[in-house]
Amino acid sequence: MISSNIGIIGHPIGHTKSPVFQQAGLDALGIDETFEAWDVPPKKLESIVAKFREKNFIACCVTLPHKQAVIPMVDELTDAAKAVGAVNWIFNRRGKLVGHNTDGSGFLRALREKTCFDPKGADVVVFGAGGAARAIVHALKGAEVNRLTIANRTVEKAQVLASYFSEGKFKPKAIGMAKDEMANHVPFANLLVNTTSLGMSGGPAEIASPVTSDMISAQTIGYDAVYAPPMTTFLREVEAAGGEPAGGITMLVFQGIEGFEMATGRSAPVNIMFEAIYSAIKSHSN
């Protein structure tokens, strides 16, 4: 099943865009490897991860549903992986497996480099309280945002996430997703981040949005961690309000770029990797 020394595991894996831009990066640097996508059902996960210890194996990106399941299978976790409680990259360091998480740092880099927005001092609302929200809240805490509100359909999950990251002056507020609750927070936010599956292609609510344009400030940046489709209903609502929409493809690529650089020890050809993913998306939509 594994015939390359670098790739991505998930289940299902057919949706992944990672091989497109990762391969472009490898080719541009003259690295003779093929970035493969491996569909690994949960029952085979442990045996597959064990193969990552083999001499020539380099690294593996990890996507759903394995980001937490792989934790006991690695030898060491970085501080980021510990804080987020999830692993999205595994590196082979001479037979020792190191689990890392680049989702949060990839999100911040996407914000800063592709939307020219520094979240320091910002008022932020994050929709959702799952794994992606956890990584993003961790990143926003480190970025020193002013206020952070976590809105989730099940408010108890938002409360758990808020209390986990509460420290010193940083005390995220947890709310439900009823319109009257969100009305006290969403209109005053500089940054709105959707981490739910609302609006995701193939998801349970493809045309839904966590919030509507009448509640969104024209001075807001709306970031959707969902990257398929490139323009979600949430982003359309942000645009309709006069705000700036930003799709999750930038977070996907930047988390991959950080992992690429740690895996290869080389500076990633960022522009080439972005060109590859945008070209693939354009050809797919035609």
Residues designated catalytic: 67
Task: Evaluate whether 168 touches 145 at the Cβ level (below 8 Å).
Answer: no
At 147 the three-state DSSP class reads: strand
What's the rounded Cα separation, in Å, for the pair 136 and 105?
A: 8
Residues 6+ apart with CB under 8 A from 167: 141
Neighbour-count burial of 56, counting CB atoms closer than 10 A to its CB (0-12 exposed, 13-18 middle, 19+ buried): exposed
* Residue listed under structure tokens 């522009």: 271
Cα-based distances in Å from 134 to 87, 139, 151: 12, 9, 13
Three-class DSSP category at 110: helix
Burial of 147 (0-12, 13-18, 19+ CB in 10 A): middle
Q: What does the DSSP 8-state code read for residue 167?
A: B
- The CA distance from 130 to 152, in Å, is 9
Cα separations (Å) of 263 from 5, 165, 200?
11, 29, 30
Burial pattern 178-196, b for ≥16 Cβ within 10 A else e, equals: eeeebeebbeebbbbbbbb
Name the strands in the sheet holding 59-62, side by side, starting at the edge strand that comes first in the sequence: 35-39, 6-10, 59-62, 89-93, 96-100, 76-77
